[in-house]
Amino acid sequence: MNSLISKPDRQKSKPALHHVKSLALIAIFIALSAVGALIKIPSPVGTIGLDAAPGFFAAIAFGYLEGTSVIAVGHLLTSAVVGFPLGIPMHILIAALMALWALVFRWVNRKVGLIAAAIAAIFLNGILSSLIMLPMGGWGAVLGTMPFLVLGSAINVIITAIAFKAVKRSELI
Protein backbone atom coordinates (compact mmCIF):
# COMPACT_ATOMS: atom_id res chain seq x y z
CA MET A 1 0.00 0.00 0.00
CA ASN A 2 2.84 2.38 0.78
CA SER A 3 4.18 1.93 -2.73
CA LEU A 4 0.95 3.42 -4.08
CA ILE A 5 1.55 6.61 -2.10
CA SER A 6 4.21 8.92 -3.44
CA LYS A 7 7.17 9.71 -1.19
CA PRO A 8 6.09 13.34 -0.51
CA ASP A 9 2.61 12.11 0.50
CA ARG A 10 4.11 9.52 2.87
CA GLN A 11 6.20 12.25 4.51
CA LYS A 12 3.06 14.38 4.99
CA SER A 13 1.20 11.50 6.67
CA LYS A 14 3.84 11.01 9.39
CA PRO A 15 3.14 14.33 11.16
CA ALA A 16 -0.59 13.65 10.91
CA LEU A 17 -0.09 10.21 12.47
CA HIS A 18 1.96 11.82 15.25
CA HIS A 19 -0.91 14.22 16.01
CA VAL A 20 -3.43 11.38 16.12
CA LYS A 21 -1.16 9.41 18.46
CA SER A 22 -0.69 12.46 20.71
CA LEU A 23 -4.44 13.07 20.86
CA ALA A 24 -5.05 9.43 21.72
CA LEU A 25 -2.46 9.54 24.51
CA ILE A 26 -3.93 12.76 25.88
CA ALA A 27 -7.43 11.24 25.84
CA ILE A 28 -6.29 8.09 27.63
CA PHE A 29 -4.45 10.02 30.32
CA ILE A 30 -7.33 12.47 30.76
CA ALA A 31 -9.54 9.42 31.37
CA LEU A 32 -7.05 8.25 34.01
CA SER A 33 -7.20 11.74 35.53
CA ALA A 34 -10.98 11.49 35.66
CA VAL A 35 -10.68 8.25 37.61
CA GLY A 36 -8.12 9.87 39.90
CA ALA A 37 -10.46 12.83 40.36
CA LEU A 38 -12.90 10.49 42.07
CA ILE A 39 -10.29 9.50 44.66
CA LYS A 40 -10.27 12.38 47.14
CA ILE A 41 -7.88 13.37 49.88
CA PRO A 42 -10.03 15.02 52.57
CA SER A 43 -9.26 18.74 52.76
CA PRO A 44 -10.93 22.07 53.47
CA VAL A 45 -11.34 22.78 49.74
CA GLY A 46 -12.39 19.30 48.65
CA THR A 47 -10.53 19.40 45.33
CA ILE A 48 -7.40 17.52 46.26
CA GLY A 49 -7.39 14.18 44.51
CA LEU A 50 -5.27 11.76 42.56
CA ASP A 51 -5.90 13.51 39.27
CA ALA A 52 -2.41 14.99 38.84
CA ALA A 53 -0.39 11.76 38.58
CA PRO A 54 -1.46 11.04 34.96
CA GLY A 55 -0.57 14.62 34.00
CA PHE A 56 2.85 14.50 35.61
CA PHE A 57 3.44 11.09 34.00
CA ALA A 58 2.36 12.31 30.56
CA ALA A 59 4.71 15.29 30.94
CA ILE A 60 7.85 13.25 31.60
CA ALA A 61 6.97 10.28 29.40
CA PHE A 62 5.49 11.95 26.33
CA GLY A 63 6.04 15.70 26.28
CA TYR A 64 5.10 19.16 27.39
CA LEU A 65 1.86 19.41 25.40
CA GLU A 66 0.58 16.05 26.58
CA GLY A 67 1.47 16.68 30.22
CA THR A 68 0.11 20.19 30.46
CA SER A 69 -3.12 19.24 28.71
CA VAL A 70 -3.73 16.22 30.92
CA ILE A 71 -2.91 17.90 34.23
CA ALA A 72 -4.99 21.02 33.49
CA VAL A 73 -8.06 19.10 32.35
CA GLY A 74 -7.56 16.64 35.23
CA HIS A 75 -7.75 19.47 37.77
CA LEU A 76 -10.87 20.89 36.11
CA LEU A 77 -12.50 17.44 36.25
CA THR A 78 -11.64 17.11 39.95
CA SER A 79 -13.10 20.54 40.63
CA ALA A 80 -16.21 19.80 38.59
CA VAL A 81 -16.87 16.63 40.62
CA VAL A 82 -17.21 18.75 43.77
CA GLY A 83 -18.92 21.74 42.13
CA PHE A 84 -16.01 24.19 41.68
CA PRO A 85 -15.90 25.26 45.35
CA LEU A 86 -13.44 28.10 44.69
CA GLY A 87 -15.29 29.34 41.61
CA ILE A 88 -14.60 28.51 37.97
CA PRO A 89 -12.12 31.37 37.36
CA MET A 90 -10.03 30.33 40.35
CA HIS A 91 -10.01 26.70 39.23
CA ILE A 92 -8.93 27.75 35.72
CA LEU A 93 -6.05 29.64 37.34
CA ILE A 94 -5.16 26.56 39.42
CA ALA A 95 -5.29 24.39 36.28
CA ALA A 96 -2.88 26.80 34.56
CA LEU A 97 -0.55 26.66 37.57
CA MET A 98 -0.63 22.88 37.55
CA ALA A 99 0.21 22.91 33.84
CA LEU A 100 3.19 25.13 34.65
CA TRP A 101 4.28 22.71 37.40
CA ALA A 102 4.09 19.83 34.89
CA LEU A 103 6.38 21.82 32.58
CA VAL A 104 8.84 22.37 35.42
CA PHE A 105 8.60 18.70 36.41
CA ARG A 106 9.55 17.57 32.91
CA TRP A 107 12.31 20.18 32.58
CA VAL A 108 13.93 19.39 35.96
CA ASN A 109 13.69 15.65 35.25
CA ARG A 110 15.54 16.12 31.96
CA LYS A 111 18.18 18.48 33.38
CA VAL A 112 18.78 17.08 36.88
CA GLY A 113 16.84 13.85 37.40
CA LEU A 114 13.65 12.34 38.70
CA ILE A 115 14.28 12.87 42.42
CA ALA A 116 14.96 16.59 41.96
CA ALA A 117 11.91 16.84 39.70
CA ALA A 118 9.75 15.13 42.33
CA ILE A 119 10.98 17.49 45.06
CA ALA A 120 10.36 20.52 42.84
CA ALA A 121 6.86 19.35 41.89
CA ILE A 122 5.87 18.64 45.49
CA PHE A 123 7.17 22.04 46.60
CA LEU A 124 5.56 23.95 43.74
CA ASN A 125 2.21 22.16 43.74
CA GLY A 126 2.02 21.65 47.49
CA ILE A 127 3.51 24.75 49.06
CA LEU A 128 3.57 27.45 46.40
CA SER A 129 0.11 26.63 45.03
CA SER A 130 -1.42 26.87 48.49
CA LEU A 131 -0.67 30.61 48.37
CA ILE A 132 -3.57 30.94 45.95
CA MET A 133 -5.81 30.75 49.02
CA LEU A 134 -4.30 33.98 50.46
CA PRO A 135 -6.69 36.46 48.78
CA MET A 136 -9.73 34.33 49.62
CA GLY A 137 -9.09 33.47 53.25
CA GLY A 138 -5.82 34.96 54.40
CA TRP A 139 -2.96 33.05 55.98
CA GLY A 140 -5.38 30.84 57.90
CA ALA A 141 -6.72 29.44 54.63
CA VAL A 142 -3.20 29.03 53.25
CA LEU A 143 -1.94 27.21 56.33
CA GLY A 144 -5.14 25.18 56.62
CA THR A 145 -4.90 23.98 53.03
CA MET A 146 -1.14 23.55 52.74
CA PRO A 147 -0.68 20.21 54.60
CA PHE A 148 -3.41 18.55 52.53
CA LEU A 149 -2.04 19.98 49.30
CA VAL A 150 1.50 18.84 50.16
CA LEU A 151 0.18 15.35 50.97
CA GLY A 152 -1.84 15.19 47.75
CA SER A 153 1.11 16.46 45.72
CA ALA A 154 3.47 13.97 47.32
CA ILE A 155 1.12 11.05 46.63
CA ASN A 156 0.58 12.10 43.00
CA VAL A 157 4.28 12.71 42.35
CA ILE A 158 5.44 9.52 44.07
CA ILE A 159 2.91 7.46 42.08
CA THR A 160 4.22 9.16 38.95
CA ALA A 161 7.88 8.51 39.78
CA ILE A 162 7.29 4.83 40.58
CA ALA A 163 5.17 4.30 37.46
CA PHE A 164 7.65 6.13 35.24
CA LYS A 165 10.60 4.12 36.55
CA ALA A 166 8.69 0.86 36.05
CA VAL A 167 7.49 1.71 32.55
CA LYS A 168 10.87 3.09 31.49
CA ARG A 169 12.60 -0.07 32.73
CA SER A 170 10.18 -2.14 30.64
CA GLU A 171 11.19 -0.09 27.57
CA LEU A 172 7.58 0.68 26.66
CA ILE A 173 8.50 4.37 26.38
User: For residue 169, what are the CA distances in angstroms to 32, 162, 163, 172?
Assistant: 21, 11, 10, 8
What the chain holds in terms of domains, given with CATH numbers, is 2-169 (1.10.1760.20)
12 falls in which pLDDT band (50, 70, 90)? low
The CA-based angle 52-56-59, given to 5 degrees, is 140
Percent of the chain with pLDDT strictly greater than 70: 88
State the pLDDT at residue 39: 86
**Between 168 and 100, residue with greater pLDDT:** 100
Buried b (16+ CB within 10 A) or exposed e, 122-156: bebbbeebbebbeeeeeeebbebbbebbbbbbbbb
Average pLDDT estimate for 142-160: 94
pLDDT digits (tens, 9 = 90+) for 131-144: 999 998 899 999 99
State the pLDDT at residue 25: 86
pLDDT digits (tens, 9 = 90+) for 74-126: 999 888 888 998 899 999 999 999 999 999 999 999 999 999 999 999 999 99
State the pLDDT at residue 47: 66
State the pLDDT at residue 9: 47
Record the pTM: 0.85
17 falls in which pLDDT band (50, 70, 90)? low
d(CA 131, CA 29): 28
